[in-house]
Amino acid sequence: MNRVANAARLTGAGALIFLGLCLPASLAFSSLGLGLAALCAVVVLVTDRNAWASLFPLRWIALGLALWIASYLLSTALSEQAHWKKIVDELWTRLLLFVPLILIGSKPQWLRRNLLWMLYLAALVALFAISQHFHGRDVWRGGFVGHYGELYQSVGFFGHHLSYGGHVMLMSLLALSCVWHRFASLPLWLSLSLIFVVALVWTFSRSSQLGFLAGGCYLALFSPFGRRRWKFLGFVAVLAVAMLLPDVRERSLSLLDVTQEPTRLNLWRSSIDAFLARPLVGYGPGNFALILRDFRITGFYDSTSHAHSDYLMLALNGGLFTLCAFAFMMATIYRRLGVGLERDVVWLRAAKACWVAILVAGVFQFYQADDEVEFALFYILGHALALGAGLSTASEESPAA
């Protein structure tokens, strides 16, 4: 039985590596990696009784996810049109919160190296995304990407600037944490941070840029006291340089003019009216078209696929029950990331910054069903939770390993 569990762990560890390497470029291969890793984790749980004990530190997170699933099941059962598959589509990436701990939780050096390899490949994709800002070619789908002004949006291999913006926002914060906590080679991480930030700026994704600023401020606030002033000054310098670019300045300042965002405002107003009409259980996932049918206010819409806000979509999908379950799960994740912080400050602090960033960016964008972003987020959080789970011994390698 232990041989089977060990073989499953080894195979699953390979699947996690494969998943991390695919995250910056291919959603299809990332899905394949997660599916194989999750299957291996199930085999480990079935064949090794001790594996269940390893999940004990994440029990409250599991409870929060279970409540979230239960709220979706209830809202779907009571909805006008039941889309059961949408529950799986929206929530299956949350398996990454637990899979790394089951498979390689006792190998902290593997967890750290998975994150490093993901960052290195993401940096190569970011270099392509920067060049894409000038040539605009979409090599995966053919043709050209969207543009803002006279220059193109950086989208990497994702095909949409909002998806790539959310992804590169998370990569930027990981690299920035390595800089601010003096992880390994400082010149390397300064270079990677610059690459990610430039790619993020040229996505023209304002929600992701706001999330990055929030996560960066969190890193600066909780960094060693003597360096906080310089880190905040560094942030101001980055902002100043970015604002010197006319297209970036125009796009950023448009946030102050609500008349330039009629679609988002109309979607928010329609969604709030719908939520107030059915606040407890919502309408079930996959029913936003029906919601707009009944609550759409008059005005301009250039997109009607979702409400352009994580929190409004959670409220519409499952009502107050889902909002409470989501808040409980995210709060327990944040609390758990504080365990082992003194041992793995680089990655755990970076994961907390990503947590802050996604909550801020989610006010303006619907990331809960954006797999390109969610894969990266829960891959980072899952590895950080495994690092802080207390499974490693006091004699393990240092974070710089």
Write out pLDDT tens, residues 285-317: 999 999 999 899 888 887 888 899 999 999 999
Residue 397 confidence (pLDDT) above 70: no
H/E element, 220: helix 206-221
> What letters, b where the CB count within 10 A reaches 16 and e where it falls short, cover 327-353?
ebbbebbeebbebbbebbbbbbbbbbb
Mean pLDDT on 242-264: 60
Residue 385 confidence (pLDDT) above 90: yes
Contact 373, 210 (CB under 8 A): no
Domain ranges of the chain: 59-387
DSSP string, 309-377: -HHHHHHHHHHHHHHHHHHHHHHHHHHHTTTTTTTSHHHHHHHHHHHHHHHHHTTTS--TT-HHHHHHH
Q: From the centroid of its chain, how far is CA 259?
A: 29
pLDDT reported for residue 299: 83
Contacts of 115 (CB under 8 A, 6+ apart): 20, 174, 347, 380, 383
What share of the chain in percent tops pLDDT 90? Answer: 56
Among 24-33, 221-230, 234-243, 251-260, top mean pLDDT goes to: 24-33
Mean pLDDT on 20-30: 93
pTM, entire model: 0.90
Mean pLDDT on 19-26: 93
Q: How would residue 391 be classed by pLDDT, with cut points 50, 70 and 90?
A: very low
Q: How would residue 396 be classed by pLDDT, with cut points 50, 70 and 90?
A: very low
pLDDT reported for residue 73: 96
Q: What is the dihedral of CA 350, 353, 355, 360, to 10 degrees?
A: -160
Joined tokens for residue 164: 């790539």
The residue with greater pLDDT, 202 or 228, is 202
- Residue 295's CB is within 10 A of a number of other CB atoms, namely 17
> From CA 37, how far away is CA 120, in angstroms rounded?
21
> From CA 269, how far away is CA 111, in angstroms rounded?
43
Residue 326 confidence (pLDDT) above 80: yes
> From CA 192, how far away is CA 172, in angstroms rounded?
8
The residue with greater pLDDT, 38 or 181, is 38
Nearest CA-CA partner of 214 in 380, 367, 353:
353
pLDDT reported for residue 261: 66
Nearest CA-CA partner of 316 in 362, 361, 279:
279
Write out pLDDT tens, residues 87-126: 999 999 999 999 999 999 888 899 999 999 999 999 999 9
> What letters, b where the CB count within 10 A reaches 16 and e where it falls short, cover 37-54?
bbebbebbbebbeebeeb
The residue with greater pLDDT, 66 or 391, is 66
> From CA 299, how far away is CA 186, in angstroms rounded?
51
pLDDT reported for residue 259: 58
Contact 231, 219 (CB under 8 A): yes
DSSP string, 134-172: HH-B-TTTSSB--EETTEEPP-TTSS-HHHHHHHHHHHH
**Averaged pLDDT score across all residues of the chain:** 86
Residue 228 confidence (pLDDT) above 80: no
Angle among Cα 293, 299, 303 to the nearest 5 degrees reads: 65
